[in-house]
Structure 1
Amino acid sequence: MARIEQQLVSLLAPAVEALGFTLWGVEFVRAGKHSTLRVYIDHEDGISVDDCAEVSYQASALLDVEDPIKSEYFLEVSSPGMERPFFSAAQMQQYLGEIAAVELNVAQQNKRKFKGVISKVEGDTVEFNVDGEPLLVNYSSVKKAHLVPQFN
């Protein structure tokens, strides 16, 4: 996670949790005047539009006071959804046996982008089953990862 995103998590997590939600993760996508700050919230009963509006209102006020981002940006608050992005190995622990789509910063075992079953998580190391073969990945080498929903 980038330094600004870590700072934003530290800033926003207490406010989100005080409202009864879990801060799933934060993404800051730089694009000049069209930069976007995405705040993902979660709750065991799901997330409604009203929940997003409530968190957006609180987060916006907090961000205005603390001003951690000096440039213009749009604030988006949403549920992580079915294709939830992962922000840590610990989050993947909750989805053992599920399929994740992963993009690495640098290829490992000739794989930079792959889909694999999350088979084990130990600390910051995640083991995926990719085409019947184990692939161990240190989470710090993950550029992006998200859950691949399965429909039966």
Structure 2
Amino acid sequence: MSKREVYEQKTEELITPFVEDKGFELVDVEYVKEGGNWYLRAYIDKPGGITVDDCEVISRSLSDKLDEEDFIEGAYILEVSSPGLGRPLKKEKDFVRNMGQEVELRTYRAIEKQKEFRGILDAYDKSSITLEVEEGEKLVFDRSNVALVRLAFDF
């Protein structure tokens, strides 16, 4: 397991009790490098959406616990936020939570001269993702050709 995976997993274990105690859901934890800085990000959600105050409460609790445990080498920036609209669906629980929702799907290789698709997330498994693109019309995508799946949003 990489250092990154260890940090993410251990952080997930530390934050879960705080998140569940508030009735929130832990969507994801990621440890990533951007522009020379390391970021430890926790994404939380709840029905009706997360507020800045919700993020602050969890951030404060997690920050104290991280200082106590002190298992991350080097400097990093802690961020706690809501998943956000354009966030990709990556893990199984992302797909479970968004079944029946409208999503955007992008493929690596064109399918009938098209790389971007939009439809209702109808089914998924380890090897494929199925979208209902029109009433009764379903498209099945091979997961190895799927570059991105995210919730669709209209402005």
Classify the TM-score, shorter chain. Answer: 0.7 to 0.9
What is the match of residue 60 of structure 1? 63
What is the match of residue 137 of structure 1? 143
What is the match of residue 5 of structure 2? 3
Q: How far is the alpha carbon of 1:28 from its aligned partner?
A: 1.2
How many residue pairs get matched? 142
Q: 1:30 aligns to what SS in structure 2?
A: strand
What is the match of residue 92 of structure 1? 95
Amino acid aligned to 2:49: G
Unpaired segments ≥5 residues, structure 2 = none
Within-5 A mapping of 1:72-151: 72-97=75-100, 98-101=102-105, 110=109, 115-117=117-119, 118-122=121-125, 124-129=126-131, 133-137=139-143, 145-150=149-154
Q: 1:35 aligns to what SS in structure 2?
A: strand
| Larger Rg belongs to | 2
What is the match of residue 29 of structure 2? 26
Unpaired segments ≥5 residues, structure 1 = none
Q: How far is the alpha carbon of 1:6 from its aligned partner?
A: 2.6
Instruction: Determine if contact 1:89/1:125 at 8 Å carries over to the other structure.
Output: no
Q: How far is the alpha carbon of 1:94 from its aligned partner?
A: 2.6
Instruction: Determine if contact 2:14/2:62 at 8 Å carries over to the other structure.
Output: no
Q: How far apart, in 2, do the equivalents of 1:56 and 1:10 lie?
A: 14
1:13 to 13, 16, 26: 16
Instruction: Determine if contact 1:114/1:130 at 8 Å carries over to the other structure.
Output: no
User: CA deviation digits over 1:46-100, x for unaligned, max 9?
Assistant: 2111111101100101111122321201111111122233341232123234213
Change (3 A) 1:102 1:72: farther
| TM-score of the superposed pair, with normalisation by structure 1 | 0.72
User: CA deviation digits over 1:2-28, x for unaligned, max 9?
Assistant: 623233222221222123211111121
| TM-score of the superposed pair, with normalisation by structure 2 | 0.71
